[in-house]
Amino acid sequence: MGILNILVLPGGTEIGMEIWRALKDCKEIRLYAASSDDAHHDPYVFARHFLVPDVHEPTWLETLNEVLAEQKIHYVFPAHDDVALSLAECASRLRAGIVSSPLKTCRTARSKIATYECLRGVVPLPVVYDDPASISEFPVFVKPDIGQGSGDVHLILNMEQLFRCLAAPKRYVVTEYLPGEEFTIDCFSDREQGLLFCSGRTRSRTRSGISMKSRLVHEEIFHGYAASISKKMEFHGAWFFQMKKDRQGKLKLLEVAPRIAGTMALNRVRGVNFPLLSIYEQERIPVQIMMNQIDVEIDRALVNRYRHNVRYRTVYVDLDDTLILHGRVNTALVQFLYQCVNESIRLVLLSRHDGNVERTLQLHRLGSLFDAVIQIDRKASKADYIREADAILIDDSFRERMDVHCRLGIMTFDCSMIEMLLDERV
């Protein structure tokens, strides 16, 4: 299909990060990102990043179309529920395709009330209290009709709390409280073949509505519910739905979303690349799903990425306790060194190693990594061997780093500092 230019909007959400992880190494994809301000995470991982207004601003479509035209974008990949709906509503005026399901599906899924009305009698639903007077027992659960994550959700213990909550100028849904285990079911559908894949996973630990810890759950009932939903709602590509158990242990629907979920990574590492499959679906390329039968668990945490002003054309690296640490190759440092190789930055090994340096490098399969290898004795100063003004030194020894820094004025790093130098932008 040639190379497709894909713009992720907004690129810095957890959804956008999963799309990035899934597509960044695909040879047929060139990634771009856009967001409404530079406070988002996209500039740290997307080399091609643009600022566009929020979709609720009047000029968002005009500005976005300018970017799409200038960069020759083939598809916009929505990474937020509001964006998916706004793009679908403006599809005829958008100067690119959309990796998403049809407008009717996006509009229905964006409203919990509309979703429940659409799927009544199709899958088990929670009891919805349209009239507070009909509530027979507390607690009940109150959430916005249009919302995402766990924003503005409330566990209500009595009628006084309920009236106070409902007084806010927002449309809420009041449902029975579901205290049981919660699940997400990741799905993929083709517009002609229907449901091609579904797999359940737990939501063992969540933060701001995002699943941070999850494991696979193999339940045939999930497939039945997925098939029923997909017959009622039209999906093009990846989608998911969430269910939770009531007091009696019966599963009931929480929501449906026609988009990528961040924790779809749990199935991606088994072989189901939902973003790539969704692009194939839009291109009408027939797909087959091949998956490794692995029992796998995911636990997500914050990751550090940096922007900095360090500039260098030569990197000097120590061997013992730096490149080789506890008798093993320091793989994080090797990642950085190969990043330098890709950028044509000169690499020099500068070591006091007592043995045969070349043999040690060969033993650890690092023999061809360096442009030069300099072995010095115990009394020599490493500063005497660093010639370039635009060089940096990586060394575990504080004394060595201090000597080089004071004499030459260049920047020096130990292994704990290397993460700042890693550049994951694609």
Per-residue pLDDT tens digits for 316-352: 999 999 999 999 999 999 999 999 999 999 999 999 9
3-state secondary structure 237-288: EEEEEEEEECCCCCEEEEEEECCCCHHHHHHHCCCCCHHHHHHHHHHCCCCC
Indicate the pTM of the whole model. Answer: 0.91
What is the structure's pLDDT at 150? 66
Q: Which tokens belong to 176?
A: 């029975």
**Residue 210 lies inside a defined structural domain of this protein:** yes
pLDDT for residue 76 is more than 90: yes
CA distance 426 to 414: 26
The string of pLDDT tens digits covering residues 170-194 is: 889 999 999 999 999 999 999 999 9
Please give the pLDDT value at position 136. Answer: 86
- Among 44-48, 166-170, 199-203, 372-376, which stretch is predicted with the lowest mean pLDDT? 166-170
**Can you read off the two tokens belonging to residue 398?**
């504080």
> What is the average pLDDT score of the chain?
95
Q: How many domains does the chain have?
A: 4
Q: Which tokens belong to 213? A: 């810890």
Q: Are residues 76 and 170 in the same domain?
A: no
Distances (CA, A) of 195 to 236, 293, 413: 10, 20, 52
Q: Is residue 309 domain-resident?
A: no
The reply to whether 305 falls in a domain is no
Mean pLDDT for the stretch of residues 56-70:
97
pLDDT of 96 reads 98
Backbone φ and ψ for 103, nearest 5 degrees, come out as -55, -45
Q: How confident is the model at residue 166 (pLDDT cuts 50, 70, 90)?
A: confident
CA angle 73, 33, 271 (to 5 degrees): 90
Same domain for 157 and 190: no
Nearby residues of 237 by Cβ (< 8 Å), 6 or more positions away: 99, 100, 101, 188, 189, 258, 274, 277, 278, 279, 281, 282
* Cα 166 from Cα 159, distance rounded (Å): 10
CATH number of the domain that residue 47 is part of? 3.40.50.20
Backbone angles phi, psi at 185, to 5 degrees: -115, 110
Rounded CA-CA distance 327/355 in Å is 14
**What is the band of 422 on the pLDDT scale with cuts at 50, 70, 90?**
very high
- Rounded to the nearest angstrom, the gap between the alpha carbon of residue 34 and the centroid of all alpha carbons in its chain is 15
218 and 284 part of one domain: yes
Q: Please indicate, yes or no, if residue 273 is contained in any of the structural domains.
A: yes
- Burial (CB < 10 A; 0-12, 13-18, 19+), residue 120, is exposed
Q: Give mean pLDDT, residues 350-364.
A: 96
166 and 268 part of one domain: no
Q: Residue 25's domain spans which residues?
A: 4-99
Weakest-pLDDT range from 47-61, 206-220, 306-320, 366-380? 206-220
Q: Which two tokens stand for residue 320?
A: 């013992």
State the pLDDT at residue 313: 98
Q: Is the same domain home to 44 and 68?
A: yes
* pLDDT of the residue at 35: 95
Place of tokens 């799927």: 119
Q: Cα 145 to chain center, whole Å?
A: 25
CATH number where 371 lies: 3.40.50.1000
Asked if residue 52 is part of any domain, the answer here is yes
59 part of a folded domain: yes
> Which tens digit of pLDDT belongs to each residue from 120-153?
999 999 999 988 889 988 999 999 999 876 678 8
Give the tens place of pLDDT for each residue, 249-297: 999 999 999 999 999 999 999 999 999 999 999 999 999 999 999 999 9
